[in-house]
């Protein structure tokens, strides 16, 4: 690489260090390394030996800082601070610290996506042909623009009424074989075009607004700040203002704003890279481990780093760039596409046959007016295609999805991809995280074992049960060895609730374990924890070390001999026990740790671990000054390596069991999902035993047949083992992000039958699993920006119960579409059939059922029964009215009652009215897609349904009674209206006969073997009781 050669040249010629800084300003400086050179180091952050080798070739941190014109003590020079253009120059060379955000999808592109619907394409083609042929026949078009606007408004307001009118209008044209009406030849085509425009606009606008809303939320979440050294002074700046060469200050709790290299820091400087790698370990940062990554967090210590990569050049930026919005089509999209194709081809076949038949009849009977008649036959054929296609379906799907999306937002589900609504409804597997989703992520001490022989499993001890000495030792040991503190109440209501004991003051700082331990001693009575810390100042702090699984503090002994020091140690119980040779008694004194004590402690630890608790222990030891290898007895400086000899012969205080309580609403939500035929599986990085216990509490692990395994075991499975075990898998513990991704792909492609998989994720490392799932669910609180970008739905409260709501709304969408399909296709079948005849006639229990299969047809046998059954009734009513309506209703059929095309307008109006009233009443029947006989259940609660019915009725009355010139109708008598309504109401009675025809009600449904998959055994279900801790958040009763 060229940068290596250049760097070697600097040092082989032995140039003075200051010579690299001789440039008078940043604009004249030769930076040596470009953005790709610097970014290349950090791209090997998971292969640290390669990164360190590259760094060494570039002259180490000194070579980097010199080349970037950065002082390793004071940061960027004062001359750059005084000139704002200098920062612009650095951004020009190395980039800005902002990822190239994907711009919102253009509105026109979203509209184009909507036009990919095959039914809309068929309608567009038919509309253009109808418009052109109509214009050729009747060029007078003075009032068409106004009519088009009116048609658009009417279609939006009353889809049902106007759709019925259009269908009946087409069928009435066919009855006499004549479609001429004055000066409106292309109105029908224009009306279809307006319907398509409305569908495209509704979908496009909704997607566009949704995209803008997500970008706005994302922008708010990115407003973060950091501290840098510039000109020797600390300055707080936004993440986006960091430039390559900045000296960034690192402190406990800070988020790293850019990829950087360690310059200097304390011995306990540690970072957690869970957001990037998924590993929750705290990693030491020093000259031997110098890489610091953007988006990760400092968990202890202080230090400085030099920013070497920003924006798209960071590892975080590269990961974001890999995420694309290319997704497989959803099951509903596939089903609608298949149905649209079948309908389109059916309409085309029927239209071609009809055109040929009419042409043959014309050729045999009368060969006059060839052009006019052939054009007429062609328009009739096009009309058949238009009648066959349910043009209202795309609009119904779009409106249903958009409405559900808005309702889901009220249930803490932010939908990023509209189709995810319906996909979630037929999910068969949910792979859920544990911490924060199934549990509260608020750890608390629930059990305790003290003195080596006393268990407090039913209730924790109170301060009155402890001697004064024992209480002091416990409270000091925990207060000085934790960093947490009580946060200030955010409101008067919260303050009053804390004062009245209705909630605990929230703790912040440190990790969840620290908060749990401190809360325990506060409950014991150590509300003066700040005073305890002040009276026991820490001389030496030993941060948590994953190798020895403990953290420690050395401080003056304030209880006994103040000339002595005391070490307090907190960590994994089994590790702490191995350090102890003594045990604290109830009186607070030390005695020999006997075998009986050890057995009692081990038994208590085992019981707590098996019940899903994390065991931590506390111990201490006092030292004389001469027993501690201080470097100086004046400064009391102690090196970490010299202190190892101090961790022996310690005195055991206690061990506690810390629980992350299951959210109270989760067991019911899991049970609801199982009742709905959805298998919930836990995928976590936690210990297997802990995960199994939580899974039992949630109701996920309910019998011995269920499989639990670790990620390591999962990776060793053969294909045959996977087919045998994974369908019964309930817990995957100690898993890596790659395990989750592979698991998702296996359930989607290899399981029999293939699953529709939803998966939760919160880290950047979960992005690919979220992308590969049918529905990706990211966490709104704990989720990283990368996870949110990769997901379809954001769970705003990180709660599994909210995921249950997504299933409910998804099924609502799917069933609403099925209801519309069975209603609309009944109309289409009837209109298509009667059009063919006329061409030759010269006169919520939503979650109680299992999900639908991924490859099932949208129109099941149950829907076909509805469509064909009601089509038979409607055809019978229309044919009888056509044949005998004049006689039955005593309609005047004289020459004066007919128009210029020899049509009896009164008679045709009655036929039209019968058709429409049957559709209005059939909307009531279509509310149910099952065998429910009572179609009126819940009808009074649906205001939108009643609005559509009322608008349809009003529109029909206006069309018949007052808009005769426009609709080619005539005002009817009361007896005519009564006749039409009787036929309409008859559909309600006929429906009871239709649903009596036996069909397979499980057609298309993925039958889940509930007895096997959700089997419950007593020893497992006993774990389902959830202990609810007193509220510690701002949620008040």
Q: Give the catalytic positions in this structure.
A: 433
- How far, in Å, are 585, 875, 886, 970 from residue 908 at the CA level? 101, 15, 10, 9
- Rounded to an integer, what is the distance from CA 496 to the centroid of its chain? 36
Residues 38, 70 contacting (CB under 8 angstroms): no
User: How far apart are alpha carbons 628 and 645 in whole angstroms?
Assistant: 9
* Partners of 592 in the β-ladder: 582
| 491 half-sphere exposure, CB direction, 13 A CA radius | 7
β-pairing verdict for 233-238 and 225-230: antiparallel
Identify whether the C-beta of residue 793 lies closer than 8 Å to the C-beta of residue 424: yes
Q: How far is CA 571 from the centre of its chain?
A: 36
The residue among 223, 438, 210, 178 whose CA lies nearest residue 325 is 210
- Residues forming a β-bridge with 944: none
**Cα–Cα distance for residue pair 1/839, rounded to 1 Å:** 80
**Separation CA 56–CA 69 (nearest Å):** 18
Among 300, 234, 227, which residue's Cα sits nearest to residue 266? Answer: 300
- Cis-peptide into 753, omega within 30 deg: yes
1017-1027: burial string, b at 16+ Cβ within 10 Å, e else? eeebeebbeee
For 961, counting Cβ atoms within 10 Å of its Cβ (0-12 exposed, 13-18 middle, 19+ buried), the class is middle
Neighbours of 39 (CB within 10 A): 23
Distance between CA atoms of residues 554 and 55, nearest Å = 37
Residues 6 or more apart whose CB falls under 8 angstroms from that of 877 comprise: 914, 918, 983, 986
Bridge partners (DSSP) of residue 568 are 553, 620
Q: How far is residue 427's CA from residue 756's CA, in Å, rounded to a whole number? A: 5
Cα–Cα distance measured from residue 70 to residue 62, given in angstroms and rounded to the nearest whole number: 9
d(CA 171, CA 166): 9
Euclidean distance between CA atoms 247 and 267, whole angstroms? 19
Distant-in-sequence contacts of 355-361, Cβ < 8 A, 24+ apart: 355/380, 355/381, 358/839
Q: 496 in helix, strand or coil?
A: helix
Residues 6+ apart with CB under 8 A from 42: 51, 259, 291, 293, 308, 309, 314, 315
End-to-end CA distance of the chain: 65
Burial (CB < 10 A; 0-12, 13-18, 19+), residue 534, is exposed
Are 696 and 662 in contact by the 8 Å Cβ rule? The answer is no
If we measure between CA atoms, which residue out of 420, 346, 329, 330 comes closest to residue 390? 346
């Amino acid at each position: 690489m060229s940068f290596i050669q250049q760097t070697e040249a600097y040092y082989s010629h032995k140039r003075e260090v200051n010579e690299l800084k001789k440039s008078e300003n940043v604009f004249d400086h030769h930076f040596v390394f470009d953005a790709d050179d610097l970014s290349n180091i950090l791209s090997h952050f998971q292969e640290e030996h390669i990164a360190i080798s590259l760094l060494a070739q570039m002259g180490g941190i000194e070579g980097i800082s010199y080349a970037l014109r950065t002082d390793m003590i004071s940061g960027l020079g004062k001359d750059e601070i005084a000139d704002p253009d200098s920062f612009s120059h650095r951004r020009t060379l190395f980039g800005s610290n902002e990822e190239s955000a994907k711009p919102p999808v253009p509105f026109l592109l979203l509209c184009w996506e909507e036009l990919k619907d095959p039914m809309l394409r068929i309608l567009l083609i038919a509309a253009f042909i109808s418009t052109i042929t109509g214009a050729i026949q009747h060029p007078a078009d003075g009032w068409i623009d106004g009519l088009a606007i009116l048609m658009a408004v009417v279609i939006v307001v009353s889809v049902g009424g106007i759709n019925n009118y259009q269908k009946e209008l087409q069928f009435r044209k066919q009855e006499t074989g004549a479609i001429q009406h004055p000066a409106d030849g292309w109105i029908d085509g224009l009306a279809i075009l307006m319907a398509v425009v409305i569908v495209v606009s509704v979908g496009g606008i909704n997607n566009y607004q949704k995209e803008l809303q997500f970008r706005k939320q994302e922008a708010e979440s990115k407003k973060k700040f950091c501290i840098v050294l510039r000109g020797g002074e600390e300055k707080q700046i936004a993440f986006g203002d960091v430039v390559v060469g900045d000296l960034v200050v690192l402190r406990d709790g800070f988020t790293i704003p850019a990829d950087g290299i360690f310059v200097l820091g304390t011995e306990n400087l540690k970072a957690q890279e869970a957001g990037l790698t998924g590993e929750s370990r705290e990693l030491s940062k020093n000259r031997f481990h110098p890489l610091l990554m953007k988006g990760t967090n400092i968990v202890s210590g202080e230090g400085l780093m030099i920013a070497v990569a920003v924006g798209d050049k960071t590892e975080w930026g590269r990961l974001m760039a890999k995420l694309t919005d290319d997704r497989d089509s959803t099951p509903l999209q596939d089903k609608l596409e298949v149905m649209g194709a079948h309908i389109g081809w059916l309409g085309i076949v029927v239209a071609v046959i009809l055109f040929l038949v009419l042409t043959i009849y014309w050729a045999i009977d009368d060969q006059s007016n060839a052009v006019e008649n052939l054009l007429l036959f062609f328009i009739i054929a096009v009309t058949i295609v238009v009648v066959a296609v349910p043009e209202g379906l795309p609009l119904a799907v779009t409106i249903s999805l958009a409405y559900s999306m808005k309702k889901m937002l009220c249930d803490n589900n932010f939908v990023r991809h509209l189709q995810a609504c319906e996909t979630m409804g037929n999910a068969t597997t949910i792979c859920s995280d544990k911490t924060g989703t199934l549990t509260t992520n608020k750890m608390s001490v629930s059990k305790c074992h003290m003195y080596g022989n006393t268990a407090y499993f039913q209730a924790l001890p109170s301060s009155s049960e402890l001697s004064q000495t024992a209480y002091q030792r416990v409270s000091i040991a925990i207060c000085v060895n934790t960093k947490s503190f009580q946060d200030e109440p955010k409101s008067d209501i919260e303050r009053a609730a804390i004062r009245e004991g209705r909630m605990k003051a929230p703790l912040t700082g440190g990790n969840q374990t620290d908060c749990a331990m401190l809360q325990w001693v506060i409950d014991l009575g150590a509300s003066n924890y700040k005073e305890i810390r002040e009276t026991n100042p820490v001389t030496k702090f030993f941060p948590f070390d994953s190798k020895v699984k403990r953290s420690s503090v050395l401080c003056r002994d304030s209880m006994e001999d103040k000339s002595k020091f005391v070490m307090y140690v907190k960590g994994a119980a089994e590790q702490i026990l191995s350090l102890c040779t003594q045990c604290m008694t109830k009186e607070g004194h030390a005695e020999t740790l006997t075998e009986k004590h050890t057995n009692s402690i081990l038994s208590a630890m085992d019981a707590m671990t098996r019940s899903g608790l994390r065991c931590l222990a506390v111990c201490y030891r006092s030292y004389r000054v001469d027993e501690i290898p201080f470097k100086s007895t004046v400064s009391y400086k102690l090196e970490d390596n010299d202190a190892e000899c101090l961790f022996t012969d310690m005195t055991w205080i206690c061990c506690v069991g810390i629980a992350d309580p299951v959210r109270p609403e989760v067991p019911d939500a899991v049970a609801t999902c199982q009742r709905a035929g959805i298998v919930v599986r836990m995928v976590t990085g936690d210990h297997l035993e802990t995960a199994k216990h939580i899974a039992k509490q949630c109701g996920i692990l309910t019998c011995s047949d269920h499989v639990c395994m670790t990620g390591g075991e999962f990776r060793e499975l053969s294909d045959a083992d996977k087919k045998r075990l994974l369908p019964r898998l309930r817990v995957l513990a100690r898993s890596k992000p790659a395990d989750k991704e592979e698991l998702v792909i296996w359930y989607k492609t290899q399981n029999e039958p293939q699953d529709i998989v939803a998966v939760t994720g919160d880290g950047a490392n979960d992005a690919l699993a979220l992308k590969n799932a049918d529905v990706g669910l990211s966490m709104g609180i704990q989720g990283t920006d990368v996870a949110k970008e990769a997901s379809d739905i954001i769970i705003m409260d990180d709660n599994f119960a909210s995921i249950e709501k997504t299933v409910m709304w998804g099924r609502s969408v799917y069933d609403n579409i099925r209801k519309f399909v069975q209603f609309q296709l009944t109309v289409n079948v009837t209109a298509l059939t009667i059009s063919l005849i006329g061409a030759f006639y010269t006169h919520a229990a939503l979650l109680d059922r299992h999900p639908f299969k991924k490859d099932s047809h949208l129109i099941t046998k149950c829907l076909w029964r509805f469509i064909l059954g009601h089509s038979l009734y409607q055809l019978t009513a229309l044919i009888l009215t056509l044949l005998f309506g004049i006689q039955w209703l005593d309609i005047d059929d004289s020459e004066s009652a007919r128009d210029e095309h020899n049509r009896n307008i009164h008679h045709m109006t009655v036929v039209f009215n019968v058709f429409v009233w049957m559709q209005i009443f059939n909307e009531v029947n279509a509310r149910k897609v099952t065998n429910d006989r009572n179609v009126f259940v819940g009808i009074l609660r649906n205001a939108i349904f009643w609005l559509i019915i009322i608008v349809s009725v009003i529109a029909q009355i206006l069309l018949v009674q007052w808009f005769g010139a426009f609709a080619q109708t005539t005002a009817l008598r009361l007896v005519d209206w009564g006749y039409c309504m009787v036929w309409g109401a008859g559909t309600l009675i006929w429906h009871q006969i239709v649903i009596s025809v036996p069909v397979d009600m499980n057609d298309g449904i993925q039958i889940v073997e509930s007895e096997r998959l959700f089997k419950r055994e007593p020893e497992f279900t006993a774990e389902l009781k959830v202990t609810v801790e007193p509220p510690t958040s701002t949620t008040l009763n």
